[in-house]
């Protein structure tokens, strides 16, 4: 058995600050930055220095704890008001990834239950650490369940980055590949580049190479040809929000891959922790889709690639309807259709 190649934790609590792997700098530079304020945390989420739904939630939770520790008021009511403002600010950073709101709700509940400022500060740090530890364990279990769906020698396609650097550890969609490498279970991975900001090329390819996983990078428009020519056995992606009926929001381009999977008759898997489910919404039509700055598609690494003043449309996510999803892999097991009936048995 080989040893799993260590990956850096993308988010780390350092008591007086948060240490963050700057995913904007990868793959050319492995840079860790320090976040010393709630404003720093907000900016890191907004500018994609941290990305991936679980990692966003973890960072926000630590951000609340950091803001609370820095509060100097001696009046409990005022303290709670100030920390609540921190929570509201962080909640406004990105609209689609439900893990952000799930983590912040846990922090808010912890805040409101506290009977003193000192116990509130301690409890908020403890809760953020608990969220982190739970996410690491959830990702490992997702990897176990996901790997059970693959056969030795399979070729699997993935999109965006749902790996260890997007979570506490291991990842969601990439977790089976990390565990497969640890267990000498051969798999070939094909990673779509994931325009417009190239999370597949910059992050997934880098992460899997660091772990010694057999990974091949392709451009997004090569997916159909690759599935056909390389005899891809399945597609696995992460998720930013999953509705009660199984409709899944994930990085833009995911819907197209699900349609291709249907055409070629191969399974399309979604891997996500239970915290990514939003049972308050019935279907994907209610999931808010973030639209980002036009510069992400008119520039690449600061170089303009499109005419000035061209009209742009830059949604960060699309929604894959449940009928295109073979199964959803969670830490609690593998959910199969009928999703409306089965999801509540796996998600609290």
Phi, psi of 319 (to 5 degrees): -115, 125
Tell me: is residue 91 an annotated ligand-binding position.
Answer: no
| In a shared domain, residues 188 and 256 | yes
| 152 labeled part of a ligand binding site | no
Supply the DSSP symbol for 152. Answer: T
**What would the two tokens of residue 99 be?**
């893990």
Q: Whole-angstrom Cα distance, residue 79 to residue 263?
A: 56
What does the alpha-carbon distance between residue 71 and residue 275 come to, in Å, rounded to a whole number?
A: 29
User: Does residue 6 sit within a domain?
Assistant: no
Indicate if 262 and 117 belong to the same structural domain: no
Residue 120 among known ligand-binding residues: no
53 belongs to an annotated ligand binding site: yes
User: Exactly one of 39, 43, 214, 240 is catalytic; which is it?
Assistant: 240
Bridge partners (DSSP) listed for residue 236: 158, 269
pLDDT tens by residue, the chain, 348 residues: 334 445 678 899 999 999 999 999 989 899 999 999 999 999 999 998 998 888 999 999 999 999 999 999 999 999 999 999 999 999 999 877 778 999 999 999 999 999 999 999 999 999 999 999 999 999 999 999 999 999 999 999 999 999 998 898 899 999 999 999 999 999 999 999 999 999 999 999 999 999 999 999 999 999 999 999 999 999 999 999 999 999 999 999 999 999 999 999 999 999 999 989 999 999 999 999 999 999 999 999 889 999 999 999 999 999 999 999 999 999 999 999 999 999 999 997
Was 81 annotated as part of a binding site? no
Which backbone phi and psi does 235 adopt, to 5 degrees?
-125, 135
By C-alpha distance, which of 69, 67, 114 is closest to 89?
Answer: 67
46 and 72 in one domain?
yes
148 and 132 within one domain: no
- State whether 83 and 184 are in the same domain: no
Element (H, E) at 304: strand 303-304
Q: Is residue 4 part of a domain?
A: no
Is 250 annotated to bind ligand?
Answer: yes
Give yes or no: residues 92 and 185 share one domain. no
pTM above 0.85, yes or no: yes
In this structure, the answer to whether residues 174 and 258 fall within a common structural domain is yes
User: What is the Cα gyration radius of the chain?
Assistant: 20
pLDDT value, residue 128: 97
Beta bridge partners of 320: 248
240 included as an active-site residue: yes
Contact 344, 265 (CB under 8 A): no
Q: Which domain holds residue 55?
A: 11-139
- DSSP H helices, the chain, are 38-46, 53-70, 76-91, 98-113, 117-147, 175-182, 199, 205-210, 223-229, 254-264, 295-298, 339-346
Calculate ∠ Cα 50-128-333, nearest 5°: 80
The response to whether 342 counts as a known ligand-binding position is: no
Q: Show the tokens assigned to 227.
A: 């599935």
Does 254 reside within a domain? Answer: yes
Question: Directed axis angle between helix 76-91 and helix 98-113, to 10°?
Answer: 180
Indicate whether 23 and 102 sit together in one domain: yes
């Amino acid at each position: 058995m080989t040893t799993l190649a260590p990956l850096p934790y993308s988010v780390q609590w350092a008591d007086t600050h948060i240490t963050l792997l700057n995913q904007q700098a990868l793959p050319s530079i492995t840079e860790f930055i320090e976040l010393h304020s709630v404003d720093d945390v907000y900016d890191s989420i907004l500018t994609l220095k941290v990305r991936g739904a679980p990692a966003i939630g973890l960072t926000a939770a630590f951000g609340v704890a950091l803001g609370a520790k820095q509060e100097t008021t001696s009046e409990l009511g005022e303290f709670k008001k100030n920390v609540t403002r921190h929570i509201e600010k962080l909640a406004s950073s990105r609209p689609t990834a439900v893990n952000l709101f799930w983590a912040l709700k846990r922090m808010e509940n912890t805040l409101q239950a506290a009977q003193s400022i000192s116990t509130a500060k301690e409890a908020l740090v403890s809760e953020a650490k608990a969220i982190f530890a739970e996410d690491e364990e959830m990702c490992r279990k997702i990897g176990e369940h996901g790997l059970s769906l693959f056969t030795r020698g399979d070729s699997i396609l993935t999109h965006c980055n749902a790996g260890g650097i997007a979570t506490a550890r291991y990842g969601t969609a990439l977790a089976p590949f990390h565990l497969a490498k640890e267990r000498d279970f051969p798999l070939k991975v094909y990673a779509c580049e994931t325009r417009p900001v190239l999370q597949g090329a910059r992050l997934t390819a880098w992460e899997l190479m660091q772990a010694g996983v057999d990974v091949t990078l392709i451009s997004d428009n090569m997916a159909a040809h690759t599935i056909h020519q390389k005899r891809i056995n399945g597609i696995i992606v992460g998720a930013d929000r999953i509705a009660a009926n199984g409709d899944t929001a994930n990085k833009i381009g995911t819907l197209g891959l699900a349609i291709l999977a249907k055409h070629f008759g191969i399974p399309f898997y979604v891997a996500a922790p239970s915290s990514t489910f939003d049972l308050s919404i019935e279907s994907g039509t209610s999931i808010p889709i973030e639209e980002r700055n036009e510069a992400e598609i008119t520039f690449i690494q600061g170089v303009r690639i499109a005419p000035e003043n061209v009209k742009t449309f830059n949604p960060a996510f699309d929604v894959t309807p449940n009928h295109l999803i073979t199964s959803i892999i969670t830490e609690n097991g593998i959910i199969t259709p009928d999703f409306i009936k089965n999801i509540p048995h796996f998600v609290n």
